[in-house]
Amino acid sequence: MIEATGGSIDIEESFKAVEIDSTSIQSNQQVILDTTEIPKILLPLISRNGQPEVLIFNVEDIKRLRDKYGILGILIGTLAQYPQQNFFLSVPLKLFIWEVIWLVESGYAQLIDQVNYRLDKAKELQSKGKLQNNNVIVMTKKDPNSKSASQLESREANFIVTPNTDSHKYSKDYRTICADDYEVSLKDYLKSYIESTSLSQNQVRSYYQNFKYLKKQGFFINPGLKFGGDLVLYPGDPLRFHSYSIVKFNMVDLQDFVVGGRLATSVKKNIVIIGDVDESEEDGSTEEVNDEFIQSLAKEPKKMSFSIEWSGFG
Amino acid sequence: MAKRNNKQQLNKIYANALPVTLSSEKYGIALPNLFPHNPISWLFYLVRLVQVNTLYSVPQSTVELVNVKYEDSIFKVTDEESIAKLWRSGFFGKGTLSRSEPTWKERTINRLNLEENEANVVSMEEVTSKRRDERKKFKTERSKLQDLELKERKGDISADEAIQLENLRNVVPNLRSANFKPGFGNDNKDTVIRLEDLELIESNILIKNLEFLQLQAIEVFFLKFALNVVQVSNLTMKQLFYECCLLVENSPSPNVTNKFILDYVVYHHYRSLGWCVRSGVKFGCDQLLYKRGPPFTHAEYCILIIPNDGKEKYDWFEMAAKARVIGTVKKSFVLVYVDFPTQAKFDLLWNSEEYEDEGQRFHDILHSYKVTEVLYRRWAPSKTRD
Amino acid sequence: MAEERDEAVITKDEANFDVEDEVQDWKLLNKSLTSGTGIPKRGEKEFEPDGTNVQIDSLQESRNAMYEALSGVRGHHLKQKLVGVWDVENGRCIVPHAKGNYFRDVGVPVNIGNKIRGGMSLNPLETVYLVERGSMVIYLGNEVYSDFLQSNEDGIEFDYDQLVALDLEFLYSLAFNGKEYSIEKYQVYAYLKRLGYLVQQFKPIGDKDQRTKLAERKTGTSLVNTIFGYVDHILKKNRLFEVLKSKLHNWGILAAPLFHGLHFATKHYFNFTDVFKSLSLIQSYSTYDSIKEDPQPSENYDLTFNVWRPTPTFSKKNPPLPDFQVSVVNTDVARFPNLETIQALHNRLNFQFKGEEGKTVIPRVKVVNKKKSSMPPSKKELRYQRQKERQSKLDEAIQKRNQYNKVRDNKLKYGSDGRTVVIATVNNGVLNFINITEGDFKLQKNMDLDDIYPGNDHGIIYIEST
Amino acid sequence: MASVESLANQVQTNLIHYNFWTKVKIHDINNGLKAVIGLPPSKLDSNDEEDQPEWVIPRSLVSNSSISVKEINEWFTGIAILEEKRPKRITIGIVNDDGTVVYYFIHDGIVKPRQN
């Protein structure tokens, strides 16, 4: 986050709680986003019958999400090189609901009905006759990348593999087909998400607006249950930086204050609580996930926030 | 203040588990052993029993009740002897200006160098404040170090600064590990007397003790109902109970799930099992259980009280936060669900005029509650595999 | 210093640091995972971006290391080729030739037509796990394949290149398309499998549930046993005696009843244990009480997995009682369960009562590091040894008391009879595991403690000074 | 329930005689709310100025323990009226029924945590 001016960065100054005005806030995104040239990232939507899940298998997409948009996701797959540990995991990268909404709502990505797309494509492939699975490769003991092509050719294939994703899918052809026939709207995604969880439509809106409010300030964001919060915030990519804050969406009790403040301080963080600037703004009338609701997600968040930490005395 | 490391001394000071005087303590008497297969021992026992009851009056019948003042929604004990009794016999109450046992007076005399200043006595509060000073120093130095490191990385560091940086790199880690150990006394501490202190002293003598022992509502009611050792202002037992309920929630008569009642039920449960029970507010729970009491051991259990009303009261975030705080201080987390009677049954007992003794009323009311304990522990699968 | 830990001061100690809390630095991937411990070191991270190139480069390095690792090859040697075929209709995977260690806890044996003898049918969790770690490749089944399975021709090897090989993305979208198997369940499954646990979907083991077993346990004693038990009871517990004693005690003075305002003013007490006994008032739950009441879990809670520590003798057909039983829950779906749900989960566990016939219960006592004999004993072991020696030199009565206190402390802390359900929470992809155990601080009817000091009120923690 | 005055007095005494603050006074801010202001014995944060007074809002943990962002914002606006400037930070003094007071900083907006 935040311009490379060096020295300390005065977040207190830049993000005065009550005076949030979207136009006056500089985008603190590390990279200025430019959507004109790049095609949208296709977000594979999985498990449409249960809770819908967006899982990314394409490493190029993972790269773009992280480097360009500061979207982290959570790796949930087994790392085949080291399959007996849980510290370093691999694809798929699971995006959580706020990341999904943010990417789609900002126009960086679109949702794809993955299972139907892939089944239809497989059918088509099979109808064309001979398949080329290409899943047998040459594997050398040391680093395979260091071998020259000729050296590799001279050896017999000895390894059978499962790739992360379908390597042909980024053909122009594929993109058009997906966009046309397999796109899932944000509305449908949210509808099934809300149906399969205990979140209400108002909560989804309010929490998403919180996420957006934080994203605008350039933070990197992860889920926060490990620390008793809804989110954790990082001042930069968590690969390099310790997290700053634990975010609580609903702070309702002083007990939470004591617990949260104490916990945060013991792990060198603080607690951030967020609320609406004007509560009447909450037009909680619609119970349905309709177009109006989807439009309301795109509104500028009007939020105020406070940071809590132990005082060090008492 | 007693020497804390002297276990025997501690045992002597805190010999009584509750502020109740035992006949064995007062008269040095005991009943003889009974052996099931030896009828003689039965007879002997019986004779002795009658003897005890005719020769000795029950100690508690002659003990004066402790006066508790109820003011501004606070239960106060101001009399020094009473404070000592309640603190030393079961660790009831808390000094308002101390961490647990009231020591403000001694600390103030010490701090202001007044009369009867015992040197070389360092209280817990002083240890803490000293350690915080050290911590502050560490932080200042570290922040200097970080500034210089940044300069170095950017390549605009002067020669002088480079030397300073090297120096700080050696010094800072030592500062971090430096731990203040009690016992050095007040070596370099100057006596600073503030305007605020002047009101307290007259010709080098402390004239005001601002501290009193504050009792929690559950403690007061236990001392009244279970042990009958206190008198709270002019309140009857029933009035006291009602006042305690009002502290939490305004209602014309107590609600069956009033937090005070649930808290009391749990408090009484653990007290009757011999635990020392104190407030768990610092750890975000309701109560702490000590095997014996603060000077002896750490609290081992943190209690969270939950009405068993079928609701899913807490979300995972709240539970995770509490569990983590409790884990940090190496205590165990216990959820105590409380079953309660119907409001109608409660009201019946509450309003009944059948009781000639209030203790019996509350016996019946409280007996209609029930506790269920559930233990919450983090599981680390990587550590339990083998 | 006893009070230190109870004060308001908040210390930032490393004890609260958990490697899994932190986002790992991929630069350390090879370094840390090939080191002996297998646990990554705490990366050296920074507090905030300072705009220096050093920092930017360092971040790029970490990111590249990550992307590279994610692009790594997933597969196995052709010589050990293991093939599965996805059956779209049934949402399962057929492994025609199942061999190897993987199937100790994975899959259900199947025979199909003439072609598959000793094959395995895998559920989506098992399938994805094996493919994802590179141990199996999987193809999309179709009519050609079904026809092959049903045909009677002998000796023909199937050419799998007739089928579409599934990449991981395709497999995930097929495997998790139904309602029953969710990503969150898979995450928990894979997490435990990666650590080496044996994991199966939850199912009752044995033909009797806890309720039946408890009922049998109560009525199972013969008349003779009952009589002997009673005599034993009286002699051992001196219960009758206790009653008589307290009656005798009261005679001399006609003390006011318990909780009467005058009680303590009218009755002599000679020790605090008796005072505590007299204060006993609040009813409390005793282990297994809820079995009779048959509470029902909320719809969001169910038992998901049986989990065993790795054992070489594990039999899929006839598994022992699980070491852990896990309920998976999504934090967006359910809140922390109410008591009824907790009790319902406890009652549905595979559980063996103490003294129940059949398989012996493995005592859940922590074993001090079983290290290879060549290793010198660790500090912990030495301490344990010394402690043991010291113990054995003590007076027998003191040994007994220490033993009693130890057993009691364990029962307070880990539950008096150990019914525990593990709840695995999944919060937007992040896992947490919690043990939820039946507690009983009153330690009512506790056989283990009765064995040491019969007739004691085990729940009274106060130790009388003598 | 504990009165606002009683809470403010408890916090005031605690600040003066337990935490050694000086010049501690109680002010009325909006809606019958009271705030305590005083000087801590040394800087509470290394970025603070010397002799920087600190505002403390007393609250009871036992009665009325719920809290909202809106309410916190009102404390800030209340103090802003007295000071003619919205403070960057205030402190909440949470009073428990055993007499313990725990103090937590509430910073306006999202700030980085103190490096401890």
pLDDT of residue C106: 95
What is the average pLDDT score of chain C? 83
How far apart (Å, rounded) are the C-alpha atoms in residues A187 and A204? 12
Is residue C208 scored above 70 in pLDDT? yes
How far apart (Å, rounded) are the C-alpha atoms in residues B79 and A107? 72
Region of poorest pLDDT, from B285-289, C57-61, C125-129, C195-199: C57-61
- Smallest CA–CA distance, residue A277 to chain C, in Å, is 25
pLDDT of residue B156: 81
Q: Is residue B33 within 8 angstroms of chain A, CB to CB?
A: no
H or E, element range at C414: helix C396-414
C-alpha atoms less than 13 angstroms from C-alpha of B300 in its C-beta half-sphere? 17
Q: Give me the catalytic one of B290, B301, B337, B369.
A: B290
D115, C47: Cβ pair inside 8 Å? yes
pLDDT of residue C251: 56
Q: Is residue C429 within 8 angstroms of chain A, CB to CB?
A: yes
What residues does D54 pair with on adjacent strands? D38
pLDDT digits (tens, 9 = 90+) for B128-181: 777 777 777 777 888 888 888 888 877 788 888 888 888 787 777 666 554 443
Minimum CA–CA partner of A267 in chain D: D116
Residue B200, classed as helix, strand or coil, is coil
Q: Is residue D35 within 8 angstroms of chain A, CB to CB?
A: no
Mutate to test the interface with A, among D45, D85, D90, D104 (most CBs of A within 10 A): D104
D20, B194: Cβ pair inside 8 Å? yes
> Where do we find the tokens 């007990």?
A255
pLDDT digits (tens, 9 = 90+) for B35-63: 777 888 888 888 888 888 888 888 998 88
H or E, element range at C405: helix C396-414
Mutate to test the interface with B, among C242, C328, C336 (most CBs of B within 10 A): C336
Residues of D within 8 A of B108 (CB-CB) are: 17
Q: Which of C8, C12, C48 lies nearest to residue D116, judging by beta carbons?
A: C12
Q: What is the 3-state secondary structure (H, E, C) of C290-343?
A: HHHHCCCCCCCCCCCEEEECCCCCCCCCCCCCCCEEEEEEECCCCCCCCHHHHH
At D22, which CATH number? 3.40.1350.10
Among the listed residues C96, C89, C176, C91, the one whose alpha carbon sits nearest the alpha carbon of residue C132 = C176
Q: Is residue D82 within 8 angstroms of chain A, CB to CB?
A: no
In a domain, D51, yes or no: yes
- Smallest CA–CA distance, residue C12 to chain D, in Å, is 8
Domain residue limits, chain B: 17-63, 124-184, 262-383
Q: Is residue C317 within 8 angstroms of chain A, CB to CB?
A: no
Domain residue limits, chain C: 25-30+59-180, 182-354+390-466
Determine the structural domain holding residue D72 and report its residue range. 4-107
Among the listed residues C437, A258, C433, C414, the one whose alpha carbon sits nearest the alpha carbon of residue B286 = A258
Non-local (6+) Cβ contacts of D113 within 8 A are A244, A245, A264, A265, A268, A269, A270, A307, A309
What residues does B377 pair with on adjacent strands? C435
Among the listed residues D33, D89, D74, the one whose alpha carbon sits nearest the alpha carbon of residue A277 = D74
**CATH code of the region B262-383:** 3.40.1350.10
Beta strands B370-378; C283-284: pairing state: parallel
How far apart (Å, rounded) are the C-alpha atoms in residues B85 and B20? 10
C-alpha atoms less than 13 angstroms from C-alpha of B120 in its C-beta half-sphere? 1
- Chains near B, with 3+ CB pairs < 8 A? A, C, D
Is residue C442 scored above 80 in pLDDT? yes
CA distances to B104, B106, B213, C82 from B206, rounded to whole Å, are 11, 10, 18, 86
**In this structure, are residues A235 and C49 in contact, taking their beta carbons and an 8 Å threshold?**
yes
Minimum CA–CA partner of D44 in chain B: B136
In a domain, D113, yes or no: no
How far apart (Å, rounded) are the C-alpha atoms in residues B227 and B218? 13
Radius of gyration over every alpha carbon of chain D, rounded to an integer in angstroms? 14
Phi and psi torsions of C18, nearest 5°: -125, 125
Phi and psi torsions of B115, nearest 5°: -60, 160
- Other beta carbons within 10 angstroms of residue C295's beta carbon come to 16
How far apart (Å, rounded) are the C-alpha atoms in residues B354 and A76? 66
Over residues C202-216, mean pLDDT:
85
**In this structure, are residues B338 and B304 in contact, taking their beta carbons and an 8 Å threshold?**
no
How far apart (Å, rounded) are the C-alpha atoms in residues B120 and C98? 76
H or E, element range at C109: strand C108-112
Residue B79, classed as helix, strand or coil, is coil
Minimum CA–CA partner of B137 in chain D: D46
In a domain, D8, yes or no: yes
In a domain, D77, yes or no: yes
CA distances to A184, B184, C46, C128, C171 from A114, rounded to whole Å, are 10, 71, 39, 16, 11
Is residue C232 scored above 80 in pLDDT? no
Q: Is residue B93 within 8 angstroms of chain D, CB to CB?
A: yes
- Other beta carbons within 10 angstroms of residue B296's beta carbon come to 15
pLDDT digits (tens, 9 = 90+) for C379-438: 777 888 888 788 778 788 888 999 999 999 999 999 887 799 999 999 999 999 999 999
- Other beta carbons within 10 angstroms of residue C219's beta carbon come to 6
Minimum CA–CA partner of D99 in chain A: A314
In eight-state DSSP terms, residue C7 is S
pLDDT digits (tens, 9 = 90+) for A146-164: 555 555 556 778 899 999 9
Residues of A within 8 A of B150 (CB-CB) are: 6-7
CB–CB contacts below 8 A, A to B: 48
- Smallest CA–CA distance, residue A87 to chain C, in Å, is 6
Helices (H), ranges, D1-116 = 4-17, 69-83
Total count of domains within chain D:
1
**In this structure, are residues C75 and A160 in contact, taking their beta carbons and an 8 Å threshold?**
yes
Q: What's the order of all strands across the beta sheet hosting C108-112?
A: C108-112, C116-122, C92-95, C83-87, C137-140, C164-165
Asked if the C25-30+59-180 domain carries CATH number 2.40.50.140, the reply is no
- pLDDT band at B367; cut points 50, 70, 90: very high
What residues does A42 pair with on adjacent strands? A110
Non-local (6+) Cβ contacts of B247 within 8 A are B73, B217, B260, D1, D2, D62, D63, D97
With 0-12 / 13-18 / 19 or more C-beta atoms within 10 angstroms meaning exposed / middle / buried, residue A174 is middle
A260 residue type, one letter: G
A266, B325: Cβ pair inside 8 Å? yes
Report CA dihedral (C174, C178, C180, C184) to the nearest 10 degrees.
60
Residue B290 a catalytic site member: yes
C-alpha atoms less than 13 angstroms from C-alpha of C72 in its C-beta half-sphere? 27
pLDDT digits (tens, 9 = 90+) for C145-191: 888 888 877 667 888 888 899 999 999 999 999 888 999 999 999 99
Non-local (6+) Cβ contacts of A172 within 8 A are none
pLDDT of residue C5: 42
How far apart (Å, rounded) are the C-alpha atoms in residues A277 and A261? 23
Q: Which of C8, C12, C47 lies nearest to residue D102, judging by beta carbons?
A: C8
Non-local (6+) Cβ contacts of C136 within 8 A are C76, C82, C83, C84, C95, C102, C127, C130
Region of poorest pLDDT, from A5-19, A69-83, B333-347, C37-51: A5-19
The share of chain C scoring above pLDDT 90, in percent, equals 46
C contact residues 404-423, partner A, Cβ 8 Å cutoff: none
B318, A256: Cβ pair inside 8 Å? yes
Residue B282 a catalytic site member: no
What is the average pLDDT score of chain B? 87
**What is the helix, strand, coil percentage profile of chain A, to 5?**
35, 20, 45
pLDDT of residue B218: 98
Among the listed residues C27, C101, C31, C103, the one whose alpha carbon sits nearest the alpha carbon of residue C65 = C27
**In this structure, are residues C282 and B368 in contact, taking their beta carbons and an 8 Å threshold?**
no
How far apart (Å, rounded) are the C-alpha atoms in residues B274 and C462? 5
Residues in chain A: 314
Residues of A within 8 A of B154 (CB-CB) are: 6
**In this structure, are residues B225 and B209 in contact, taking their beta carbons and an 8 Å threshold?**
no
- pLDDT band at C3; cut points 50, 70, 90: very low
Over residues B196-202, mean pLDDT:
87
What residues does C283 pair with on adjacent strands? B370
Region of poorest pLDDT, from A103-107, A194-198, B191-195, C289-293: B191-195
Domains defined for chain A, CATH in brackets: 10-29+210-314 (3.40.1350.10), 130-167 (no CATH)
Mutate to test the interface with C, among B329, B337, B363 (most CBs of C within 10 A): B329
In eight-state DSSP terms, residue C27 is G
B210, D13: Cβ pair inside 8 Å? yes
Which stretches does DSSP call E strand in chain B?
66-71, 74-77, 94-95, 201-202, 205-206, 213-215, 230-232, 276-279, 287-290, 299-307, 332-339, 370-378
- Other beta carbons within 10 angstroms of residue B155's beta carbon come to 8
Residue B224 a catalytic site member: no
> Where do we find the tokens 């119970």?
A287
ipTM: 0.88
A268, D115: Cβ pair inside 8 Å? yes
pLDDT of residue A289: 86
